[in-house]
Amino acid sequence: MISGLWNGYSGLTAFEKALNVEANNSTNVNTVGHKADDIRFEDMMYQYGYGKGTNVDSISKVMTQGNVKLTNNTYDVAIEGKGYFIVSERKTNETFYTRAGNFYMAEDGLLQTQNGMKVLGLTPQSNSVVASNPAKTQFNESFTKNITSKTISNENFLQTINARTTDYNTSAVDKGISGAAYKTKSAQIADIEALIADYKSKLDLYSSNSTAVGSASTSQITNVNLSTSMSQLVGVNDFIKITINNEEITQFFDTDIETTMKKLSDKISDIKGLSSSVSPTTGILTINSLIPAKEVLIKDARINENYLSVVNSQDAKLGSGIVLVNSTRQPLKST
């Protein structure tokens, strides 16, 4: 009698495990890359002509092709037939294999799984890397800051543009000389941040119309002729004044005319997104916008009460297509 009870109990226990397996399969029927379980049973050893119940022999994965579903997600991929995606744990570099192809683009521009593992692949047959150092042909560990990762596609092509920088907050230093595009470290960092924001916005613009005929962006260049009234800079109360984007920049006479003009130029160069230089010989103050297509309002330039000529030698122009992106990248690369 006890043996018969045990036989029944073993059957119920095995059946419970079978229900759990089927319930798990049913629950994950829509889980991407899920491998169904298959349960098999075995009879226990017979004694005196009577069986000793049943037991679970094995629970194994069913390695068969599941249904492929169209998702319309840009980075979703499915494998038809045999094979696995090879993925790697970011911190340990340990390798794993998965059939789940519901990927997404990480902040660093790499394709990764839903749990953050990066997707490995073949070395690309061709690539194009544009760096401030011509010797650089690919990103390395020094490119620690991710600017953006953008995928642009249309009926003719698919491309991914990744942009990274080194740690410019650490590497930036004062550069140039007084009166000749002089930049302090803090001014350089501010310029870079402004150029990064502009580059990302130009990428968005390109993405919205990637089939446009390419044309380059241009930056505004403005010349202010100081020569007509330079001779009036003789005393401590004399000054040069200019309004840039509704901000008045004033430089009082300091030591001599050349020093005064250079200090004015340096103040302008300290403005985010601008660079300035002055020629003591000709008296021409040149103000460059570092950000392509950005218009700068420059007016009311004067020495004391004498107004000076302000002329744009080059106007800001937006541009279009991939050429727009390239011409916007160049000043960021240089800075």
Q: pLDDT tens-digit profile of 293-319?
A: 999 999 999 999 999 999 999 999 999
Q: Rounded to a whole number, what is the distance in angstroms from the first to the last CA of the chain?
A: 90
For residue 57, the SS3 value is strand
Mean pLDDT of all residues in 72-98: 86
- At 95-153, the pLDDT tens digits run 999 888 888 888 777 889 988 899 987 655 445 565 666 555 566 778 888 888 888 87
For residue 80, the SS3 value is coil
Which residue spans within the chain are E strands per DSSP? 37-43, 54-61, 85-88, 95-98, 104-105, 111-112, 118-119, 145-153, 158-165, 175-177, 180-183, 221-225, 239-244, 247-252, 274-278, 284-289, 298-303, 306-307, 309-314
Q: pTM higher than 0.75, yes or no?
A: no
